Amino acid sequence: MTTINLTVNGKAVSVDVEDRTLLVHLLRDHLNLTGTHVGCDTSQCGACVVHVDGRAVKSCTMLVGEADGTSVTTIEGLAQGDQLHPMQAAFRDNHGLQCGFCTPGMIMSAIDIVKRHGGKLDEATVRHELEGNICRCTGYHNIVKSVLDAAGRMNLANAAE
Amino acid sequence: MGIEGIGARVTRKEDRRFITGKGRYVDDVKVYGATHAHFVRSPHAHARVKGIDTAAAEKMPGVVAVLTGREIVDDKVGNLICGWMIHSKDGSPMKMGAYPALAPEVVRYVGQAVAVVIAETKNQARDAAEAVVVTYEELPAVVNVKAAIAPGAPQLHPEAPGNIVYDWSLGDEAAVNDAFGKAANIVKLDLVNNRLAPNAMEPRAALAQYDAAEEHFTLYTTSQNPHVARLVLSAFYNIAPEHKLRVIAPDVGGGFGSKIFIYPEEMVALWAAKRVGRPVRWTGDRTEAFLTDANGRDHVSTAEMAFDKDNRILGLRVKTYANFGAYMSLFSSSVPTYLYATLLSGQYDIPAIYAEVLGVYTNTSPVDAYRGAGRPEASYLLERTMETAARQLKVDPGELRRKNFITQFPHQTPVIMAYDTGDFVASLDAAMKAIDYAGFAARKEKARKEGKLRGIGFSCYIEACGIAPSKAVGSLGAGVGLWESAEIRVNPVGTIEVLTGSHSHGQGHETTFCQLIADRLGVPIEQVSIVHGDTDKVQFGMGTYGSRSLAVGGSAIVKAMEKIEAKAKKIVAHQLEASEDDIVIENGEFKVAGTDKTMAFANVALAAYTAHNLPDGMEPGLKESAFYDPSNFTFPAGTYICEVEVDPGTGKTSFVNFVAADDFGRLVNPMIVEGQVHGGLTQGIGQALLEHAVYDDSGQLLTASFMDYAMPRADDVPSYDLHHTTTLCPGNPLGVKGCGEAGAIGASAAVINAITDAIGTNKLDMPATPDRVWHAIHAA
């Protein structure tokens, strides 16, 4: 067992877990943050993507020891009260989700994509960048639309700041 | 239609919980004291289980129990059933071997469960499973359908000699032979419909509880049809009586058919919960999903089509070998028979059709319904054949189809189906216009000059959805009826709960069904809740598959709404002293036509519950239910046209354009419909270009992870250009046809037709990987 100290969605937490515990299981099983999902065993599907120190990370591929001392944001930590993150709102407005299982990971990855590419996103770039997130429902059409829409909203928000 | 009524692009009510991480899937449900199950699975495709030594595992930390097929037999747990009886040509019933939840004696596919370890934690269960020692005597295995029926092949079940489950046929063989005798031209094509893994993103899961005080079971499970699960678990598996079992399918992360069936793991979790006296949780991992979720497709077929001198179709002859895997899954038998051969007429007026289907056991995981279920196989076969015919007969592929379209409705096909309505010319025209078919030759020439091979491919699909009526499917062998139920509970304050027996695992029922209420009763969708997926709340229902939710489930809601409306009008007429016939609903209010006398819906509801002033003899309350059994299938149809560019140097296919023109009848929420089409098309394209569940000759699954099985990713598929043409379905009150499977049914043929057009050969099987395409180019 090991004690892991980290910040999750802005709150400091300390958890005793087995050394072999993955970050995703710490979030789901110990902190009850079940919005982060497990869709595969090979780091392919991206349903488990969270932000670790501001970068998109597949939490099924990070041992808790590696997350010690970091600041983690999960899908539950995006909205400010009733105020959705622009990416969340864009997914809803563009019907970018169906069953919702891949959605948290998609949204977390997509925010990272927009941050890295700023206002220079186009469809081809979004599609290429989403390669690490698998969706079986939407055929990606509306996910791509959502990300491009959100990129506009996020850039506007940044410009306004 | 109103801003929230039928036809409005209402954003989904359910989305908020999903985008904020508040969805509640089975693995998210926490119960006190839950144990964790991990299954011990066969590493062999075919072997005798000589012994299972659980002693070491039982001593491992945290282990609560290790259970095997022996305990399953001791507790008289039933074998898994197949719920659709098919009879062979000779009239004999299909031949099936027993399918036990934990194999006590023989394993017949890699991944088949032989034991389960139940422990305090997931890791402890996993660790202890490693310590279970199973001694196997390996037996020869067979994975290929043609090899499995060859003399001397390894035999899977003594009940099914030659590994043949059934030898079935449909249609008039003599009429087809006669047609071929008169033919001016005959087109013949051999086809493989590749095996697919369904891969809903949420793996299957179960959480079972047993309440000893009440002798009551609760099962949370990833089901598309929780009532069917409860019925089967009770009536056939002897685990829990139906009135003492609650099955809850909460948020379910996609299904695509694979979550219709009741699998060994869910059964074992439920059985074990009582046996160990603790809640038992099992959540499959992705490799378990690849090994054990019912796969789709896996046909080997030969199609022959006879044409007269004017290129009119005279007849179609089809021979199909369908791979069922090692056991007959719940509805597997119906897929390559009544869901397949009945659609072989497609959109065409074909006077004579004869199809033979051989259902075959192999040492692979079971095969059952996957998005489209039989209809994609029929559509692929027919549309590849039509395209090949156009090339052989040297006519335009669009014109050959147009010439043979059915144009008069209703139309009785020679393979059971009676199409009620459609306009195939309209969808063909819409798709050809959208893709600028007239300009294709110039685009192809331009691409040629740039060293690229450009091709265009058509697919004119038809499907039969909302499978029904119950009496008809019963006569064809179904063990269940295929109606749907609805209950509408109007609360005293005028808010509404709609209980439906269909189930949403991504389809958006919570929005679409609310729109039905808003449209008819004028109640805002925020004041309506859709309740589904819980057998304690909804009395009974058949679930969601076969694009049936709106056509069948929605129609049941309409039927219940009619009763609500009728009673409400009686109350209003009584209170406003008017004639019932003069009461109309306008803007959420009941109104006496031609007057200014109105009564708000909420006031009608309150009046129904206070019961202070109701018509004489009227019962208080405002709650109605309905069962709806359709009079016929619905027949969505359309045309997909795909334009691709193939790089002759690498064999890689790129999309130039993909257009779809679908006729789904009335659209309740076009946004949701488009989303369904996008997803279906992507699964169809995935089958055409990428996906293939591959077993080696020894029965090892080579594609048991997302590293090895090529799922469509965002950069594998294009954005789609969707169009709609409309003929209203006359068979249901909404005029709807269903849209969930069309894309997966029609897309794959369009893609392969485009690639074969580009590279100039008809010999290409799915998936058309760059390797296969490159070799096809160089073999041509």
Give the model confidence (pLDDT) of B203-221 as tens digits: 999 999 999 999 999 999 9
pLDDT at B246: 98
Q: Which residues make Cβ contacts (< 8 Å) with residue B739, sequence separation at least 6?
A: B547, B636, B662, B664, B673, B676, B677
* pLDDT (mean) for B291-296: 98
State whether B23 and A33 contact (CB < 8 Å).
Answer: no
CA atoms within 13 A on the CB side of B348: 32
Is the model's pLDDT at A19 over the cut of 90? Answer: yes
Mutate which of A49, A95, A111 to disrupt the B interface (most B C-beta within 10 Å)?
A: A95
Euclidean distance between CA atoms B735 and B360, whole angstroms: 39
End-to-end Cα spacing for chain B: 55
Q: Is A8 on the interface with B (CB under 8 A)?
A: no
Contact yes or no for B635/B419 (Cβ under 8 A):
yes
Q: List every span in chain A annotated with CATH 1.10.150.120.
A: 86-160
Q: Is B146 on the interface with A (CB under 8 A)?
A: no
State whether A42 and B705 contact (CB < 8 Å).
Answer: yes
ipTM of the complex: 0.98
Is the model's pLDDT at B616 over the cut of 60? Answer: yes
3-state secondary structure of B469: coil
pLDDT at B59: 98
Give the model confidence (pLDDT) of B561-599 as tens digits: 999 999 999 999 999 999 999 999 998 899 999 999 999
State whether B679 and A138 contact (CB < 8 Å).
Answer: yes
State whether A141 and B678 contact (CB < 8 Å).
Answer: yes
pLDDT at A156: 73
- Say which of B21, B253, B254 has its CB closest to residue A76: B21
Q: Is A157 on the interface with B (CB under 8 A)?
A: no
Euclidean distance between CA atoms A40 and A105, whole angstroms: 12
The percent of residues above 70 in pLDDT, for chain B, comes to 100
Is the model's pLDDT at B656 over the cut of 80? Answer: yes
Euclidean distance between CA atoms B293 and B365, whole angstroms: 8
Number of H-type helices and E-type strands within chain B: 20, 28
Residue of A nearest to B508 (CA): A98
Contact yes or no for B37/B125 (Cβ under 8 A):
yes
Residue B698 one-letter amino acid:
S
User: What are B662's strand-pairing partners?
Assistant: B638, B724
B216: closest CA among B289, B164, B290, B274?
A: B274
The chain-wide mean pLDDT, for chain B, equals: 97
Euclidean distance between CA atoms B96 and A54, whole angstroms: 56
Within 50-109 of A, beta carbons closer than 8 Å to B belong to: 74-76, 78-79, 84, 88, 91-93, 95, 97-104, 107
B521: closest CA among B614, B587, B457?
A: B587
Q: What is the DSSP letter of A130?
A: G
Burial class, B112, CB count within 10 angstroms (exposed 0-12 / middle 13-18 / buried 19+)? buried
Cβ-based neighbour number of residue B602 at 10 Å = 18
pLDDT at A159: 73
Contact yes or no for B768/B716 (Cβ under 8 A):
no
- Say which of A37, A79, A131 has its CB closest to residue B20: A79
Is the model's pLDDT at B1 over the cut of 60? Answer: no
Q: Which residues make Cβ contacts (< 8 Å) with residue B97, sequence separation at least 6?
A: B156, B157, B158, B159, B160, B327, B361
- Say which of A126, A127, A137 has its CB closest to residue B679: A137
User: Which pLDDT band, with edges at 50, 70 and 90, does B3 fall under?
Assistant: confident
Q: How far is CA B431 from each of CA B428, B660, B719, B750, rounded to the nearest angstrom? A: 5, 6, 15, 12
Contact yes or no for B756/B679 (Cβ under 8 A):
no
User: Which pLDDT band, with edges at 50, 70 and 90, does B623 fall under?
Assistant: very high
Give the model confidence (pLDDT) of B460-469 as tens digits: 999 999 887 8
User: Which pLDDT band, with edges at 50, 70 and 90, does A161 fall under?
Assistant: low
Contact yes or no for A88/B20 (Cβ under 8 A):
yes
State whether B254 and A137 contact (CB < 8 Å).
Answer: yes
Give the model confidence (pLDDT) of B683-698 as tens digits: 999 999 999 999 999 9
Is the model's pLDDT at B144 over the cut of 90? Answer: yes
Euclidean distance between CA atoms B232 and B503, whole angstroms: 17
pLDDT at A160: 66
Q: List every span in chain A annotated with CATH 3.10.20.30.
A: 2-77
Q: Give the rounded distance of the alpha carbon of B679 from its chain centre.
A: 13
pLDDT at B211: 97
Mutate which of A140, A142, A144, A148 to disrupt the B interface (most B C-beta within 10 Å)?
A: A140
Q: Please give the structure tokens belonging to residue A105.
A: 């990971």
CA atoms within 13 A on the CB side of B673: 24
Contact yes or no for B289/B188 (Cβ under 8 A):
no
Within 505-534 of B, beta carbons closer than 8 Å to A belong to: 505-508
User: What are B545's strand-pairing partners?
Assistant: none
- Say which of A39, A102, A131 has its CB closest to residue B286: A39
Give the model confidence (pLDDT) of B175-189 as tens digits: 999 999 999 999 999
Q: Is B588 left (phi over 0), alpha (psi -120 to 50) or beta?
A: left
* pLDDT (mean) for A105-113: 98
Q: Provide the shortest C-alpha distance from residue B281 to chain A (in Å).
A: 13
Q: How far is CA B528 from each of CA B13, B495, B771, rounded to the nearest angstrom? A: 10, 6, 53
Give the model confidence (pLDDT) of B42-89 as tens digits: 999 999 999 999 999 999 999 999 999 999 999 999 999 999 999 999
Q: Listing from the earlier edge strand, what are the strands of the sheet with B113-119?
A: B63-68, B113-119, B35-41, B280-283, B205-211, B216-221, B245-248
Yes or no: is domain A2-77 CATH 3.30.540.10?
A: no
Give the model confidence (pLDDT) of B310-367 as tens digits: 999 999 999 999 999 999 999 999 999 999 999 999 999 999 999 999 999 999 999 9
- φ and ψ at residue B634, rounded to 5 degrees: -105, 160
Helix (H) / strand (E) element for B384: namely helix B375-393
State whether B254 and A130 contact (CB < 8 Å).
Answer: no
pLDDT at B466: 87
pLDDT at A118: 81
Tell me the torsion sign for CA atoms B557, B559, B561, B567: negative
Beta strand A49-52 with A71-73 is: antiparallel
pLDDT at B780: 63
Q: Is B120 on the interface with A (CB under 8 A)?
A: no
Give the model confidence (pLDDT) of B503-548 as tens digits: 999 999 999 999 999 999 999 999 999 999 999 999 999 999 988 9
Residues of B in contact with A139 (CB under 8 A): 678-683, 712, 717, 720, 743
3-state secondary structure of B26: helix
pLDDT at B497: 98
Largest CA distance in chain A: 47
State whether B672 and A143 contact (CB < 8 Å).
Answer: no
Residues of A in contact with B712 (CB under 8 A): 139-140
Mutate which of B18, B204, B256 to disrupt the A interface (most A C-beta within 10 Å)?
A: B18
- Say which of B16, B507, B720 has its CB closest to residue A141: B720
Give the model confidence (pLDDT) of B83-96 as tens digits: 999 999 999 999 99
Helix (H) / strand (E) element for A66: namely helix A64-67
- Residue ranges and CATH numbers for the domains of chain B are 15-20+483-628 (3.30.365.10), 31-139+202-253+259-292 (3.90.1170.50), 375-462+633-779 (3.30.365.10)
Yes or no: is domain A86-160 CATH 1.10.3720.10?
A: no
Q: Provide the shortest C-alpha distance from residue A154 to chain B (in Å).
A: 17
Residues of B in contact with A91 (CB under 8 A): 15, 19
The percent of residues above 90 in pLDDT, for chain B, comes to 97
Residue of A nearest to B11 (CA): A93
Q: Listing from the earlier edge strand, what are the strands of the sheet with B299-307?
A: B164-171, B352-361, B313-325, B299-307, B185-193
